[in-house]
Amino acid sequence: MCSEFPYEFIIQGESMKFNPGEHLEEFNRLYREMDRIYHELAVNAGMSDSAFFILYAIVEMGNGYLQKDIAERYSISRQTVNSSVQNLKAKGYVEMEPGNGRDRHIYLTPAGQQVAERNIYPVMKMEKDAFQEMSEQESRELLKLTRKYVRIFQDKTEHMR
Protein backbone atom coordinates (compact mmCIF):
# COMPACT_ATOMS: atom_id res chain seq x y z
CA MET A 1 0.00 0.00 0.00
CA CYS A 2 1.37 3.37 -1.02
CA SER A 3 1.17 5.84 1.87
CA GLU A 4 2.75 8.87 0.25
CA PHE A 5 0.87 12.13 0.17
CA PRO A 6 -1.76 11.58 2.88
CA TYR A 7 -4.06 14.55 3.38
CA GLU A 8 -6.17 15.02 6.45
CA PHE A 9 -9.57 16.60 6.27
CA ILE A 10 -12.64 16.81 8.45
CA ILE A 11 -16.04 15.36 7.48
CA GLN A 12 -18.84 16.01 9.98
CA GLY A 13 -16.43 16.35 12.88
CA GLU A 14 -14.43 13.21 12.04
CA SER A 15 -10.84 13.36 10.93
CA MET A 16 -10.32 11.37 7.74
CA LYS A 17 -7.09 10.76 5.90
CA PHE A 18 -7.15 11.00 2.15
CA ASN A 19 -4.41 8.95 0.59
CA PRO A 20 -4.11 9.49 -3.17
CA GLY A 21 -1.76 6.49 -3.42
CA GLU A 22 -4.47 4.15 -2.13
CA HIS A 23 -7.01 5.67 -4.49
CA LEU A 24 -4.61 5.24 -7.39
CA GLU A 25 -4.06 1.60 -6.44
CA GLU A 26 -7.82 1.04 -6.47
CA PHE A 27 -8.20 2.86 -9.80
CA ASN A 28 -5.42 0.75 -11.33
CA ARG A 29 -6.93 -2.44 -9.90
CA LEU A 30 -10.31 -1.55 -11.42
CA TYR A 31 -8.67 -0.80 -14.77
CA ARG A 32 -6.96 -4.20 -14.72
CA GLU A 33 -10.25 -5.86 -13.73
CA MET A 34 -11.98 -4.31 -16.76
CA ASP A 35 -9.11 -5.51 -18.94
CA ARG A 36 -9.47 -9.03 -17.47
CA ILE A 37 -13.21 -9.05 -18.17
CA TYR A 38 -12.65 -8.17 -21.84
CA HIS A 39 -9.83 -10.72 -22.06
CA GLU A 40 -12.15 -13.45 -20.77
CA LEU A 41 -14.84 -12.41 -23.26
CA ALA A 42 -12.29 -12.66 -26.09
CA VAL A 43 -11.04 -16.05 -24.88
CA ASN A 44 -14.61 -17.34 -24.58
CA ALA A 45 -15.17 -16.20 -28.18
CA GLY A 46 -12.04 -18.08 -29.27
CA MET A 47 -10.19 -14.91 -30.22
CA SER A 48 -7.21 -12.87 -29.19
CA ASP A 49 -7.92 -9.65 -27.33
CA SER A 50 -6.92 -7.59 -30.36
CA ALA A 51 -9.06 -9.61 -32.80
CA PHE A 52 -12.02 -9.19 -30.44
CA PHE A 53 -11.50 -5.42 -30.32
CA ILE A 54 -11.09 -5.17 -34.09
CA LEU A 55 -14.45 -6.91 -34.58
CA TYR A 56 -15.90 -4.70 -31.85
CA ALA A 57 -14.55 -1.62 -33.64
CA ILE A 58 -16.00 -2.67 -36.99
CA VAL A 59 -19.40 -3.25 -35.41
CA GLU A 60 -19.29 0.04 -33.51
CA MET A 61 -17.86 2.18 -36.31
CA GLY A 62 -19.51 0.39 -39.22
CA ASN A 63 -18.14 -1.31 -42.29
CA GLY A 64 -15.67 0.42 -44.56
CA TYR A 65 -13.37 2.12 -42.08
CA LEU A 66 -9.62 2.05 -42.53
CA GLN A 67 -7.15 0.27 -40.28
CA LYS A 68 -5.67 3.63 -39.31
CA ASP A 69 -9.14 4.84 -38.21
CA ILE A 70 -9.47 1.86 -35.87
CA ALA A 71 -5.93 2.33 -34.54
CA GLU A 72 -6.56 6.00 -33.76
CA ARG A 73 -10.02 5.60 -32.25
CA TYR A 74 -9.12 2.66 -30.01
CA SER A 75 -5.50 3.61 -29.21
CA ILE A 76 -4.17 0.38 -30.69
CA SER A 77 -0.94 0.34 -32.68
CA ARG A 78 -1.32 0.15 -36.45
CA GLN A 79 0.85 -2.98 -36.46
CA THR A 80 -1.50 -4.71 -34.01
CA VAL A 81 -4.53 -3.68 -36.04
CA ASN A 82 -2.91 -4.90 -39.26
CA SER A 83 -1.89 -8.23 -37.73
CA SER A 84 -5.35 -8.81 -36.25
CA VAL A 85 -7.09 -7.83 -39.48
CA GLN A 86 -4.89 -10.27 -41.41
CA ASN A 87 -5.78 -13.05 -38.94
CA LEU A 88 -9.49 -12.20 -39.17
CA LYS A 89 -9.20 -12.17 -42.96
CA ALA A 90 -7.53 -15.61 -42.92
CA LYS A 91 -10.48 -16.92 -40.87
CA GLY A 92 -12.91 -15.45 -43.38
CA TYR A 93 -14.40 -12.89 -40.97
CA VAL A 94 -13.34 -9.73 -42.80
CA GLU A 95 -12.51 -8.67 -46.31
CA MET A 96 -10.65 -5.64 -47.51
CA GLU A 97 -11.22 -3.35 -50.45
CA PRO A 98 -8.73 -0.88 -51.87
CA GLY A 99 -8.93 2.76 -50.92
CA ASN A 100 -6.60 5.67 -51.66
CA GLY A 101 -2.97 4.62 -52.02
CA ARG A 102 -2.20 1.83 -49.56
CA ASP A 103 -5.40 2.38 -47.57
CA ARG A 104 -7.77 -0.55 -47.44
CA HIS A 105 -11.34 -0.50 -46.20
CA ILE A 106 -12.42 -3.30 -43.84
CA TYR A 107 -15.78 -5.05 -44.10
CA LEU A 108 -17.34 -7.92 -42.18
CA THR A 109 -18.08 -10.98 -44.28
CA PRO A 110 -21.28 -12.96 -43.64
CA ALA A 111 -19.21 -15.29 -41.39
CA GLY A 112 -17.79 -12.27 -39.59
CA GLN A 113 -21.28 -10.90 -39.11
CA GLN A 114 -22.32 -14.19 -37.51
CA VAL A 115 -19.32 -14.09 -35.16
CA ALA A 116 -20.18 -10.50 -34.26
CA GLU A 117 -23.81 -11.39 -33.59
CA ARG A 118 -22.71 -14.23 -31.30
CA ASN A 119 -19.86 -12.48 -29.49
CA ILE A 120 -19.79 -8.71 -29.99
CA TYR A 121 -23.42 -7.59 -29.94
CA PRO A 122 -24.12 -9.31 -26.59
CA VAL A 123 -21.09 -7.58 -25.03
CA MET A 124 -22.25 -4.22 -26.34
CA LYS A 125 -25.66 -4.85 -24.83
CA MET A 126 -24.13 -5.79 -21.46
CA GLU A 127 -22.01 -2.62 -21.52
CA LYS A 128 -25.06 -0.51 -22.32
CA ASP A 129 -27.10 -2.22 -19.59
CA ALA A 130 -24.33 -1.66 -17.04
CA PHE A 131 -24.10 2.01 -18.00
CA GLN A 132 -27.87 2.41 -17.82
CA GLU A 133 -27.90 1.08 -14.25
CA MET A 134 -26.08 4.27 -13.29
CA SER A 135 -27.93 7.54 -13.13
CA GLU A 136 -27.34 10.04 -15.91
CA GLN A 137 -25.40 12.17 -13.43
CA GLU A 138 -23.22 9.22 -12.42
CA SER A 139 -22.43 8.26 -16.01
CA ARG A 140 -21.62 11.86 -16.95
CA GLU A 141 -19.39 12.22 -13.87
CA LEU A 142 -17.61 8.94 -14.66
CA LEU A 143 -16.84 10.12 -18.18
CA LYS A 144 -15.86 13.62 -17.08
CA LEU A 145 -13.45 12.42 -14.41
CA THR A 146 -11.98 9.63 -16.54
CA ARG A 147 -11.36 12.11 -19.38
CA LYS A 148 -9.70 14.48 -16.93
CA TYR A 149 -7.48 11.75 -15.47
CA VAL A 150 -6.43 10.55 -18.94
CA ARG A 151 -5.66 14.10 -20.09
CA ILE A 152 -3.59 14.90 -16.99
CA PHE A 153 -1.74 11.57 -17.10
CA GLN A 154 -1.11 11.99 -20.82
CA ASP A 155 0.32 15.48 -20.22
CA LYS A 156 2.61 14.14 -17.50
CA THR A 157 3.91 11.33 -19.71
CA GLU A 158 4.56 13.60 -22.68
CA HIS A 159 8.29 13.88 -21.89
CA MET A 160 8.67 10.09 -21.93
CA ARG A 161 7.39 9.66 -25.49
Write the pLDDT tens digit of every residue in 68-106.
Answer: 999 999 888 999 999 999 999 999 999 999 888 888 899
pTM of the entire predicted model: 0.81
Give CA–CA dist 41/52, Å, rounded: 8
The answer to whether residue 146 is domain-embedded is no
The answer to whether residue 5 is domain-embedded is no
The answer to whether residue 32 is domain-embedded is yes
The answer to whether residue 135 is domain-embedded is no
Q: Which tens digits make up the pLDDT trace of 109-145? A: 999 999 999 999 999 999 999 999 999 999 999 999 9
Give CA–CA dist 120/125, Å, rounded: 9
pLDDT at 12: 55
Domain that holds residue 30: 18-119
Query: Domain count of the chain?
Result: 1
Give CA–CA dist 103/79, Å, rounded: 14
40 DSSP assignment: H
The answer to whether residue 90 is domain-embedded is yes
